[in-house]
């Protein structure tokens, strides 16, 4: 090994913007292209919005206007406006901001003064304008470098702050905003700030009943076992119910921040719920039976919160305030009093809750024997050598590099040729491959017993490590990789039915994706272009001119491992599986996977496209009939 010199020249000092651009993951988490809900471009939007929300929380400004186009984000609030003499410093000097004055921002979302600086450094264009008491100040930046520092001038505009930015496409490659993700982000802000009005691209977001409105939006009220319980106290709000689904589903928030990975407050809620229910009914229920099928939302206000990362997705605070009670004590005391009182006052709800717990108990006992046999079968199948080509890096919640953890994914594919190509071309550190044998079983309408009786489902469940919930999920992304033909589409539907029927939280928490692979390769002697649609194919032919060679990929197995490496590397294209607000899972699965109905037959006939490859004059023509 060559001798590496370590001297004065080895010590480097980076200014704030250089450090953010060199290590963006430290400030905004993963980068991504916008296909995941926690990709960096959404964190940028959130960092700007958080400042406006904090102004609202302090009693200044009831309206926020947001506009998002393909490449630009604009946020205008009507708070107090940044003090004019500090406009430039607040967006370009680390550790500069009003939130260090705990008297002004006791329980704000962000306390470290980094957020807008990261947005500034990671944008090709960044503008901040403050309106304050008849005067205004404008500053404009490019990748953190100030390019326009205007003097204070007169204005007739209302007090507040305008922020405009365009994410840097050299950092966020091929990025695009997915409307459903922005919609979800803004609704969460509305639910957590009763009375606030957010206007986004012509749509109004407003809530009066907070987390009760949130759960109504997230659930199918017809499937609930009892009306949503809504409880509020000082610095805490809770909404809770049980539905007809498998698994647990929670939405947790701290100081208005959506903690997608939970944390100490969510752990305390799950623990306190079991304790309170046991004491109310005087029965030592199994914790899994109490929490099975629960749907809940909790929001707490914490003084000087400690998060486990800059993106604030997991709360680490053990106490609700530096000198206050522990999180466990605070939440347990709240449920012990308020939930217990509610159940005593609402006997019908208490009876329905008891029946749901007893049903979960029966279901658990029914599958206990077959579950044990299935687990033994999984071990004998030598899962990690036969069905699963695992990646080398795995983590738990307490350790590991979060940036690498976010890159872990598992490809679910069918057939030896397809799985072989992916296995040979994958990144063995972070990408795993699970190979299906034939088409999966249509599990629509089945109970969870089928997960253990069916070998493919049982082995897949073990590979993902989701038998006891998402806490043990071994991969950040579950990628369905099938051919873009009728059989491939059918396999996708069967797998999605499996996830939605038994593990819907995987979809709701943005873990399930469809791999987008090219349909065509268009090339001449100088250049090769891969096309993901017929429109891209036509554009590629026009670009290359002449009569380029055109290949239509009919299946994943036809793509060589060398080529496949380019499709599942940094430029991987993934389509997230997103449930719309009004999507009812049971109705959705019944339509696509249930028995044929006239409506379903009409849909199939209307949508059916039989593609035929017709080679003519050196081109591939796609004919539909």
Model confidence at 318: pLDDT above 70: yes
CA dist 402 and 261 (Å) reads 12
330-339, 371-380, 428-437: segment of lowest average pLDDT: 371-380
Q: What is the pLDDT of residue 218?
A: 86
SS3 344: helix
Give me the mean pLDDT over the 596-605 stretch. 63
What is the tens place of the pLDDT at every residue in 159-192? 999 999 999 999 998 899 999 999 999 999 999 9
Give me the mean pLDDT over the 321-349 stretch. 94
CATH class of 381-517+554-578: alpha beta
CA dist 407 and 411 (Å) reads 13
Beta strands in 325-451 (DSSP E): 388-389, 409-414, 431-436
CATH 3.30.565.10 spans which residues of the chain? Answer: 16-206
What is the tens place of the pLDDT at every residue in 144-156? 999 999 999 999 9
CATH 3.30.230.10 spans which residues of the chain? Answer: 212-359
Within 13 Å, how many C-alpha atoms sit on residue 201's CB side?
Answer: 11
Q: What is the pLDDT of residue 582?
A: 58
Q: Which CATH number fits domain 212-359: 3.40.50.300, 3.30.300.170, 3.30.230.10, 3.40.50.1860?
A: 3.30.230.10
Residue 362 — very low, low, confident or very high, per pLDDT cuts 50/70/90? very high
H-helix or E-strand containing 578?
none
Beta strands in 262-384 (DSSP E): 294-300
Based on the number of CB atoms within 10 Å of its own CB, is 263 exposed (0-12), middle (13-18) or buried (19 or more)?
buried
Name, in order, each residue with C-beta under 8 angstroms of 349's C-beta and a sequence gap of 6 or more.
Answer: 226, 227, 229, 342, 343
Q: What is the pLDDT of residue 290?
A: 96
What is the rounded average pLDDT for all residues in the chain? 84
CATH 3.40.50.670 spans which residues of the chain? Answer: 381-517+554-578
What is the tens place of the pLDDT at every residue in 198-257? 999 999 999 999 999 999 988 888 888 899 999 999 999 999 999 988 888 899 999 888
Q: Which CATH number fits domain 16-206: 3.40.50.10860, 3.40.50.1000, 2.60.120.560, 3.30.565.10?
A: 3.30.565.10
């Amino acid at each position: 090994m060559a001798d590496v010199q370590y001297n004065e020249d080895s010590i480097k000092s980076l200014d704030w913007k250089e450090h953010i651009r060199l290590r963006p993951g430290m400030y905004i988490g993963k980068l991504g292209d916008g296909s995941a809900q926690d990709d960096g471009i959404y964190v940028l939007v959130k960092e700007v919005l958080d400042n406006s929300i904090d102004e609202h929380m302090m009693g200044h400004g009831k309206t926020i206007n947001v506009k998002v186009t393909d490449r630009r984000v604009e946020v205008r609030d009507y708070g107090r406006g940044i003090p004019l003499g500090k406009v430039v410093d607040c967006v370009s000097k680390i550790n500069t901001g009003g939130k260090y004055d705990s008297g002004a921002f006791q329980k704000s979302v962000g306390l470290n003064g980094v957020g807008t600086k990261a947005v500034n450094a990671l944008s090709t264009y960044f503008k901040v304008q403050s309106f304050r008491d008849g005067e205004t100040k404008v500053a404009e930046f490019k990748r953190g470098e100030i390019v326009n520092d205007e003097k204070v001038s007169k204005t007739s505009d209302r007090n507040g702050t305008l922020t405009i930015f365009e994410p840097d496409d050299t950092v966020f490659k091929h990025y695009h905003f997915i409307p459903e993700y922005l919609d979800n982000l803004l609704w969460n802000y509305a639910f957590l700030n009763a009375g606030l009005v957010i206007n986004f691209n012509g749509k109004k977001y407003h809530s009066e009943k907070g987390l009760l409105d949130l759960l109504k939006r997230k659930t199918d009220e017809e499937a609930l076992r009892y009306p949503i319980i809504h409880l509020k106290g000082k610095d805490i709000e809770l909404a809770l119910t049980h539905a007809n689904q498998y698994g647990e589903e929670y939405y947790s928030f701290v100081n208005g921040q959506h903690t997608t990975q939970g944390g100490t407050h969510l752990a305390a809620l799950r623990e306190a719920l079991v304790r309170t229910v046991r004491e109310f009914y005087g029965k030592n229920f199994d914790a899994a039976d109490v929490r099975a099928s629960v749907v809940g939302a909790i929001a707490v206000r914490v003084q000087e919160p400690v998060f486990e990362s800059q993106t604030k997705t997991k709360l680490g605070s053990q106490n609700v305030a530096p000198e206050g009670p522990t999180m466990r004590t605070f939440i347990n005391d709240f449920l012990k009093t308020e939930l217990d009182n509610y159940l005593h006052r609402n006997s019908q709800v208490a009876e329905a809750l008891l029946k749901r717990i007893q049903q979960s108990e029966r279901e658990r006992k029914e599958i206990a024997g077959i579950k044990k046999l299935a687990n033994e079968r999984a071990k004998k199948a030598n899962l990690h050598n036969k069905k699963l080509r695992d990646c080398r890096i795995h983590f738990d919640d307490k350790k590991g590099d979060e940036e690498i953890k976010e890159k872990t994914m598992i490809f679910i594919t069918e057939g030896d040729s397809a799985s072989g190509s992916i296995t040979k071309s994958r990144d063995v550190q972070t990408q795993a491959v699970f190979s299906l044998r034939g088409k999966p079983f249509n599990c629509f309408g089945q109970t969870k017993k089928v997960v253990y009786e069916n070998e493919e489902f049982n082995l897949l469940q073990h590979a993902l490590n989701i038998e006891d919930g998402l806490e043990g999920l071994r991969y950040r992304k579950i990628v369905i990789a099938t051919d873009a033909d009728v059989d491939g589409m059918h396999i996708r539907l069967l797998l999605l039915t499996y996830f939605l029927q038994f593990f819907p939280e995987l979809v709701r928490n943005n873990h399930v994706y469809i791999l987008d692979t090219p349909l065509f390769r268009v090339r001449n002697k100088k250049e090769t272009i891969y096309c993901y649609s017929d429109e891209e194919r036509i554009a590629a032919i026009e670009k290359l001119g002449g009569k380029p060679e055109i290949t239509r990929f009919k299946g994943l197995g036809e793509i060589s491992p060398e080529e496949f490496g380019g499709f599942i590397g940094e430029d991987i294209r993934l389509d997230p599986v997103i449930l719309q607000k009004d999507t009812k899972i049971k109705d959705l699965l019944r339509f696509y996977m249930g028995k044929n109905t006239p409506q379903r037959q009409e849909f199939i006939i209307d949508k059916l496209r039989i593609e035929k490859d017709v080679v003519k004059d050196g081109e591939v023509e796609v004919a539909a009939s």
